Amino acid sequence: MKKIVKSILIIVLLFSKQLGAQEIISIDKSEVLSKISDQNLSLKISKESFNAAKADYKQTNAVFLPNITATHTGISTTNPLMAFGSKLNQGILTQNDFNPALLNNPEQTQNFTTVIKVEQPLINLDGVYQRKAAKSKMDAMSLQSQRTEDYLFFEVEKAYMQLQLAYKGEQVLEKALQTANENKKLAENSFQQGYLQRADVLNVEVRVTEIKNQLQTAKSNVQNASNYLSFLMNDERYVIYKPTDSLTVSNFSMDNKTISENRSDIKAMQLSTKAYEAMNKADKMSFLPRLNAFGSYEMYDNTIFQGNASGYLIGAQLSWDIFKGSKRFGKAQKSKAEFEKSKLAYNQYVSQSNLELNKVKRQLIDAKNKLELTALAVQQSKESLRIRKNRFKEGLEKTSDLLQAETQFAQKQLEYYQTIFEYNYTQKYLEFLTKE
């Protein structure tokens, strides 16, 4: 049994070492952005959505371009009418074929027909507006793809800052652990000299254990932030990334920052509204007649793939669907409602964007004020820790007060770096909202 437990412990230790030795790669933000542009799956999906809309638009070329078909048909018949007509088309009728006995009871007749048929739209107003709607949809998808790329770049900024923040948290806790270990040695020395009770030493040891747990969580945060960057870059290695630069306060001016109608997603909604408008006009135009030209060239023979006799047919057709069971009326009403709905959705979206902008501006002011206060709190807690530590060495300070000062200093440092992250993130979000 002891051997089994020993083997399990060895396996656990080896596995832990393997995890601890996971590859760490330095990376800068420009490199992440470059890989996002080439590898990100959301961008690829967005581009394929645009390609689908582009293909829909190409289909509307049928409004102007002809429809050309070619067929080759072979028949064998004793039907009087078909037999007579086949010989007539082949140009092989003779005087004997008008014999009533042969007309009523013809012999087996073979006919092979090759037809090349052309249909050319001339006036199809509903198709013209459907083409305009498809064009607007394609342009909207292009702008939406651009907005998707803008969002992903913003998401990279956020993820990269999260990685920086994770490393800052790890550094603070490593320093806190070092300080806690130093205080533990002081407490043990004081205990040995009879200045402290065993309970005081245990409190210090508990504090060391707490910091170790927090440090392990901080290391997991580094892995989580690295894995998210790997996901964004579509990198399945899931290594540990380390930013080449540290988390620092960014400078930003929010003067004259407004929501622009030229922002890609807002322009996309404008084009979407135009598409609904064009579809509504197309449904209205379906009440009008259509004019199409057609023509065919036909070749006949009693032998396959031959064409000794030929003829052509050309013409034009004016067609008008006068009434189709009120189906078109309902369709036109529906497209009208969708058009009105898209206009309301556009106004609502712009209004929400302005609401979000005003909210973020206030958040930026709050984050700036909080940044100044937390920076001051870090300095004050650092000085408080220094004073209490010196007094503790002289036996003038309680262990609980020293531990509280130490905890407060670590918390204020973590809060300060978290505030830097919030301040920088809010700036990037404001840039994202006001980007044209």
pLDDT for the residue 19: 43
Within the chain, which residues score under 70 in pLDDT? 1-22, 254
Torsion of CA 7, 213, 166, 387, to 10 degrees: -140
- What is d(CA 301, CA 309) in angstroms, rounded to the nearest whole number? 6
β-strands 109-123, 290-301 pairing: antiparallel
The verdict on 277 and 340 lying in the same domain is yes
In the DSSP assignment, the letter for residue 322 is -
User: Which burial class, exposed, middle or buried, applies to 431 when counting CB atoms under 10 A from its CB (0-12, 13-18, 19+)?
Assistant: middle
Q: Which residues pair with 319 in a beta bridge?
A: 290
Domain membership of residue 208 (yes or no) is: yes
CA 214 – CA 31 distance, rounded (Å): 31
Residues 306, 425, single domain; the answer is no
pLDDT one-digit tens code per residue, 78-126: 999 998 888 888 888 888 888 888 888 988 989 999 999 999 999 999 9
pLDDT of residue 326: 81
Query: Looking at the structure, do residues 281 and 379 belong to the same domain, yes or no?
Result: yes
Residue 9 lies in a domain: no
For 73, the 3-state DSSP assignment is strand
Domain-embedded: residue 170: yes
Give me the pLDDT at residue 375, please: 94
Q: How far apart are CA 387 and CA 403, in angstroms?
A: 13
The predicted structure's pLDDT at residue 22? 66
Q: Which residues contact 103 (CB under 8 A, 6 or more apart)?
A: 80, 84, 97
How many helices (H) and strands (E) the chain has is answered by 10, 6
Whether 8 is covered by a domain: the verdict is no
Q: Residue 220: which region, alpha, beta or left (left: phi > 0; alpha: psi -120 to 50)?
A: alpha
Residues 295 and 428 in one domain: no
DSSP symbol at 98 = G
Are 117 and 141 in a shared domain? no
Q: For residues 166 and 90, state if they share a domain.
A: no
pLDDT of residue 18: 46
CATH assignment of the domain containing 150: 1.20.1600.10
Q: How far apart are CA 97 and CA 95, in angstroms?
A: 5
Instruction: Select from 308, 387, 335, 432 the least CA-distant residue to 130.
Output: 335
Alpha carbon distance 112, 72 (integer Å) = 7
Q: How far is it, in rounded angstroms, from Cα 59 to Cα 213? A: 62
Would residue 10 count as lying in a domain?
no
Classify residue 218 as exposed, middle or buried by CB count within 10 Å of its CB (0-12, 13-18, 19+).
buried
Separation CA 214–CA 173 (nearest Å): 7
Q: How far is Cα 235 from Cα 34, in angstroms, rounded to an integer?
A: 13
Q: Are residues 154 and 281 in the same domain?
A: yes
| Structural domains counted in the chain | 2
Residues 412 and 428 in one domain: yes
Which among 152, 66, 180 is positioned nearest to 432, based on CA atoms? 152
Beta bridge partners of 317: 292
Q: What is the CATH number of the domain that holds 96?
A: 2.20.200
Q: Write the DSSP symbol of residue 308.
A: S
Contacts 24+ apart (CB under 8 A), 347-350: 349/266, 349/269, 350/259, 350/261, 350/266
Helices (H), 91-124: 100-104
Q: Domain for residue 394, yes or no?
A: yes
Asked whether 241 and 162 are in contact (CB, 8 A), the reply is no
Q: Rounded CA gap, 314 and 200, in Å? A: 107
| Strand, helix or coil for residue 254 | coil
Residue 11 domain flag: no
Residues 80 and 192 occupy one common structural domain: no
The domain of 315 spans 66-123+290-320
Residue 400, pLDDT score: 81
Q: Tokens representing 61?
A: 């070329």
Query: Which amino acid makes up residue 389?
Result: K
In this structure, the answer to whether residues 305 and 162 fall within a common structural domain is no
Measuring CA to CA, how many Å separate 291 from each of 69, 128, 436? 19, 13, 44
- Same domain, yes or no, for 267 and 401? yes
In a domain? residue 229: yes
CB 57 within 8 A of CB 138: yes
Same domain for 336 and 369, yes or no, is: yes
Residues 200-221 have pLDDT tens digits of 888 888 989 999 999 999 999 9
- Enter the DSSP assignment of 287: T
Domain end, chosen from 275, 303, 320, is at 320
